[in-house]
Amino acid sequence: MKISYRLADIAAQFGGHVRGDSGVRISQIASLENAQPNHISFLTNSKYRAQLVSTCAGAVILGEADADATDLPRIVSDNPYAYFAKVSALLNPLPEARHGTHSSAVVGAGARIDATASIAAMAVIGEGATIGAHSVIGEGCCIGANTVIGSHARLYPRVVIYHDCVIGDNLIAHSGAVIGSDGFGIAMGDGRWIKIPQIGRVVIGNDVEIGANTTIDRGALDDAVIEDGVKPDNQIQVAHNVRIGAHTAIAGCVGIAGSTTIGSYCRIGGSAGILGHLQIADHVEISSFTLVGKSIKKPGSYSGIFPFSSNEDWRKNAVHLRHLDELVKRVKTLEQEIALLKGKDR
């Protein structure tokens, strides 16, 4: 049976002020629209206040500004969205993994696996690798030789980490993620590409979550570094020698080219791109679908998106982009001629 908590228990753990009946019992979290009486819901945007009237939730989390907008039992928090995240984690703990190594897993010589770690079926742990306390290595994962994984990692099935990488505590890595693959290092000589060995590592801090099918290449000579709390979503490509600063969040399908350094607390929109050898400051926001082609030295929001329209309108307008320089010259000519006419006119 699912565990339930009284509103008072929740507030005791996470703070905030309870209004209304603090004894109401909560066993799950849900949207205002779908919540049931044993659910707690949340309002993070006053715009949706009207939903407070119709919700069947047993309780709600909201901000000070909305605290009087309902009579429901409620927790008032100065950051209701973060509060929601914490309550949801309380109500939805990860299933416990069984300690120990599945009989089908293969563990290389000299690997050190903590007694509280879990190695699932079909996983392969390379020679000399280290798996920290309470870490869970999912089905079919491959951990390369001498790679070190900290404590409380959770690797979903089929994650690959190449050799000699160093990973902090609390890593979450989703299926298909590849960490430490060779960077795109090739040199043209005598009409063919010569491979440049990629001898750096990937070094990852604590509290990083890596999305499904995301790839993070190892360094060419020095290391690629992902600092604490970085959150790359799915299908992201991080090329060799990249450094990503702490607590930067990156939405799906982004590509980051080699040797670029990204600051802390940046937010990068989906399918954006960042060229190589650039420096991006802290607290930079990049819009979806924007290519960053030079370094950004100041915090702020940056965009470069072609606005979409009906195919007809797009065609009509976009054709002129190939003649924009000419258009600007035509305007300049007009300005000169007007000046001339005005002169004569005087």
The Cα–Cα gap between 276 and 269 comes to: 18
Which residues does residue 25 pair with via DSSP β-bridges, in sequence order?
A: 6
Which of positions 61-80 make contact with a copy of itself (CB under 8 A)? 79
Instruction: Work out which of 37, 92, 112, 279 binds a copy of itself, going by CB under 8 A.
Output: 92
Q: Are residues 126 and 112 in contact, defined by beta-carbon separation less than 8 angstroms?
A: no
Burial state string for 110-138 with b = 16 or more CB within 10 A and e = fewer than 16: ebebeeebbbbebbbbbebbbbbebbbbb
What is the amino acid identity at position 103? S
Which of positions 317-336 make contact with a copy of itself (CB under 8 A)? 317-325, 327-328, 330-331, 334-335
Q: Regarding beta strands 261-262 and 279-280, do their DSSP bridges make them parallel or antiparallel, or are they unpaired?
A: parallel
User: Which residues fall within 8 angstroms of residue 44, CB to CB, at 6 or more apart?
Assistant: 62, 63, 80, 81, 84
For the bound state, the minimum distance from the C-beta of residue 21 to a copy of itself, rounded and expressed in Å, comes to 24
Select from 1-9, 19-27, 54-62, 139-147 the region that touches a copy of itself (CB under 8 A). 139-147
User: How many other C-beta atoms are found inside a 10 Å radius of the C-beta of residue 195?
Assistant: 9
Select from 1-9, 56-64, 66-74, 215-223 the region that touches a copy of itself (CB under 8 A). 215-223
The one catalytic residue in 152, 174, 240, 247 is 240
Note whether 297 binds a copy of itself by CB under 8 A: no
Of residues 18 and 251, the one with the C-beta less far from a copy of itself: 251
For the bound state, the minimum distance from the C-beta of residue 127 to a copy of itself, rounded and expressed in Å, comes to 10
Which of positions 156-175 make contact with a copy of itself (CB under 8 A)? 156-158, 160, 162, 172, 174-175
For the bound state, the minimum distance from the C-beta of residue 291 to a copy of itself, rounded and expressed in Å, comes to 4
Type and span of the H or E element at 340: helix 324-345
Q: Are residues 232 and 250 in contact, defined by beta-carbon separation less than 8 angstroms?
A: yes
Of residues 279 and 317, the one with the C-beta less far from a copy of itself: 317
User: Which residues fall within 8 angstroms of residue 176, CB to CB, at 6 or more apart?
Assistant: 158, 159, 212, 213, 214
Note whether 252 binds a copy of itself by CB under 8 A: yes
Reply yes or no on whether 17 is catalytic.
no
Select from 3-11, 57-65, 66-74, 216-224 the region that touches a copy of itself (CB under 8 A). 216-224
Which of positions 17-36 make contact with a copy of itself (CB under 8 A)? 28-31, 34
Of residues 21 and 102, the one with the C-beta less far from a copy of itself: 102
